[in-house]
């Protein structure tokens, strides 16, 4: 029998957190659930934990990476192995409410949706937040073109309250992903792989390529660990940040979405804001000359140069950006 949902979990040095992740996945109320654990060459024994669970639960499938591929390519290998009607994602140190995938799948089938969004809850150990779940029939499913547009524009601007920028708060129809050839980019080269992935998801939905709904309830616990990669000082670098927005810009141009002035403006604003933040961090950590050299290297991207010109044309020149070296340097690049 074909699984209703395949959940892809890249596993790398999850430590003791992996147990709780696997416990909440193996005890999901959705029976037809496929759990794909992509072992990304862990060095802490996480593979042994995964293998123990695979021996106990027939619905667990193990995928072994030949080398450490990082999360993006690991998820892609999981996508290749998945057989479910819908695809979900989880991080190896997070956990879920046990009804999560059953409720999401039922909502998807009820509305014939290609993409379902739910809420998630941030927690910081030893904090233990318990979500008070309502029954699905007590929830009003949100849908419609205006709501989709609001979500897509919020994703582009970065000013969102719903978790539209994270893949773990969604399930995606597998056929939808295959039809639009949506995969993850190599996270050795970029940061923000979820953002790039979801910009393509919401971009295709916005252009009429599928149906989107929102189930207004939190099911996923996003565990914030100070030692995790995304919370380390060197994570948000100029080169990987620049590469991310170059790829987002390329997608927006190839799809024709950049022709809409509102989309072009939102993209330019978020790109400059993100580059400025990365430049500020590298200035503090490595010094201004190092940061300026790194900043100069991203000027070769035509996508980024066009975004800079758009930003300078549209946004108020009296913004704080003008008062720092980064702003002056970026303006000089456009002359």
What residues contact residue 333 under an 8 Å CB cut-off, 6+ apart?
Answer: 299, 305, 308
Q: Could you tell me the two tokens for 268?
A: 């330019």
Answer yes or no: is pLDDT of 231 > 50: no
Answer yes or no: is pLDDT of 327 > 90: no
Mean pLDDT check: name the lowest of 139-153, 224-238, 301-315. 224-238
Answer yes or no: is pLDDT of 311 > 70: yes
Mean pLDDT of 82-108: 97
Place of tokens 């999401």: 104
The half-sphere exposure of 69 on its side-chain side, counting CA atoms within 13 A, is 21
Which range is most confident: 22-26, 224-228, 266-270, 276-280?
22-26
Mean pLDDT of 117-145: 89
Quick: pLDDT tens for 165-201.
999 999 999 999 999 999 999 998 898 999 999 999 9
pLDDT, residue 324, reads: 52
Mean pLDDT check: name the lowest of 67-71, 284-288, 309-313. 309-313
Length of the chain: 335
In this prediction, what percent of the chain has a pLDDT beyond 90?
A: 69
Answer yes or no: is pLDDT of 332 > 50: no
Mean pLDDT check: name the lowest of 58-72, 193-207, 236-250, 290-304. 290-304
pLDDT, residue 335, reads: 39
Answer yes or no: is pLDDT of 318 > 90: no
Q: Which fold has domain 5-230?
A: Spore Coat Polysaccharide Biosynthesis Protein SpsA; Chain A (3.90.550)
Mean pLDDT of 31-44: 97
Q: Report d(CA 198, CA 202) in Å as an integer.
A: 6
Every domain of the chain and the residues it spans: 5-230, 233-333
Cβ density class 39-78: b for 16+ within 10 Å, e for less: bbbbeeebbebbeebbeeeebbbbbebeeebbbbbbbbbb
CB-based burial label for 273 (10 Å; 0-12, 13-18, 19+): middle
The model carries a pTM of 0.91
Q: Report d(CA 77, CA 183) in Å as an integer.
A: 10
Q: Report d(CA 240, CA 278) in Å as an integer.
A: 9
**Average pLDDT score over the chain:** 89
Answer yes or no: is pLDDT of 27 > 50: yes
Q: Report d(CA 130, CA 327) in Å as an integer.
A: 44
What are the phi and psi torsion angles at 224 (to 5°)? -100, 110
């Amino acid at each position: 029998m074909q699984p209703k949902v395949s959940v892809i979990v890249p596993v790398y040095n999850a430590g003791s957190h992996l147990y709780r992740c696997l416990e909440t996945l193996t005890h999901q109320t959705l029976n037809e659930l496929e759990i794909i654990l992509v072992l990304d060459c862990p060095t802490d024994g996480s593979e042994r934990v995964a293998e123990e669970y695979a021996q106990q639960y027939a619905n667990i499938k193990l995928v072994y990476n030949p080398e450490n591929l990082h999360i993006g390519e690991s998820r892609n290998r999981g996508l290749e192995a998945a057989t479910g009607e819908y695809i979900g994602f989880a991080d190896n140190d997070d956990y879920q409410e046990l009804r999560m995938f059953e409720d999401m799948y039922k909502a998807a089938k009820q509305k014939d949706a290609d993409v379902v969004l739910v809420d998630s809850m941030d927690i910081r150990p030893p904090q233990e937040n318990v979500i008070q779940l309502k029954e699905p029939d007590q929830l009003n499913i949100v849908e419609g073109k205006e709501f989709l547009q609001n979500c897509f524009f919020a994703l582009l601007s970065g000013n969102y309250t719903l978790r539209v920028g994270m893949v773990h708060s969604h399930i995606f129809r597998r056929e939808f992903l295959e039809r639009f050839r949506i995969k993850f980019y190599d996270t050795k080269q970029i940061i923000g792989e979820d953002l790039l992935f979801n910009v393509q998801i919401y971009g295709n939905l916005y252009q009429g390529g599928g149906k989107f709904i929102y189930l207004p309830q939190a099911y996923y616990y996003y565990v914030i660990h100070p030692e995790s990669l995304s919370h380390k000082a060197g994570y948000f670098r100029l080169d990987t940040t620049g590469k991310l927005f170059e790829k987002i810009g390329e997608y927006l141009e190839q799809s024709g979405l950049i022709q809409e002035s509102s989309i072009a403006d939102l993209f330019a604003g978020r790109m400059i804001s993100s580059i400025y933040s990365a430049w500020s961090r590298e200035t503090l950590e490595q010094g201004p000359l190092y940061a300026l050299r790194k900043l100069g290297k991203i000027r070769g991207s035509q996508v980024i140069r066009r975004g800079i010109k758009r930003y300078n044309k549209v946004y108020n020149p009296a913004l704080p950006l003008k008062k720092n070296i980064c702003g002056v340097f970026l303006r000089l690049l456009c002359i």
